[in-house]
Amino acid sequence: MVTKICVCCCEPFVARPQVPKQAFCANPACQRERRQQWQRKKMLDDPFYRENQQDAQRAWRTRNPDYSRDYRAANPEYTQKNRKQQRSRSQDGQALEKQTSDVSIPPNEIPPGIYRIRHIQVDANCKTDAWIVEITPVNADSFCKTDACKDRT
């Protein structure tokens, strides 16, 4: 019996011996998250899977042409919530764009040189697949005197 910590809810769970790499507990919400992560990755990595999913969705919409319209008519709060979210998403996007454009450098303007890339640990609750990194220019003459080489001098 191996006890692990779930990467989704951070609670301890007993891993199934049949699944050596099990990272999510059996909690339905965590299993949903695991499937969504798998599908997001598959959609990015596998063009055949992506095409297949799109075909299936298209075929389903053709078979059920009234579904979306009927659902929206029966659930007006859903439409309202969606509109609100869409508005706030585009506002967030604008804010983010402003924020990042202040610090970003177009790739063709980054001077050639030696850089240190440091992985920044984000909060465990922050569910992102992206690696947040800090890129700092390193002086070629001095970089060996820092960090790892320090102990040997």
**Footprint of Zn ion (CB under 5 A):** 6, 8-9, 25, 27, 30
| Kind of pairing between the strands at 12-15 and 2-5 | antiparallel
CB of 34 to Zn ion, least distance (A): 9
**What is the closest distance, in whole angstroms, from the C-beta atom of residue 6 to Zn ion in the complex?**
3
| Shortest CB 133 distance to Zn ion, Å | 27
**Residue (8 or 22) nearer to Zn ion, CB:** 8
Residue 9 burial by Cβ neighbours in a 10 Å radius (0-12, 13-18, 19+) = middle
Q: Which is nearer to Zn ion, 23 or 138 (CB)?
A: 23
Cα distances from 54 to residues 22, 48, 61, 83, 150, in angstroms, run 29, 10, 11, 24, 55
CB of 5 to Zn ion, least distance (A): 9
In the bound state with Zn ion, the residue whose beta carbon lies nearer, of 125 and 153, is 125
* Closest of 53, 56, 29 to residue 41, by C-alpha: 53
Could you tell me which residues are beta bridge partners of residue 138? 114
Comparing CB distances to Zn ion, the nearer of 6 and 22 is 6
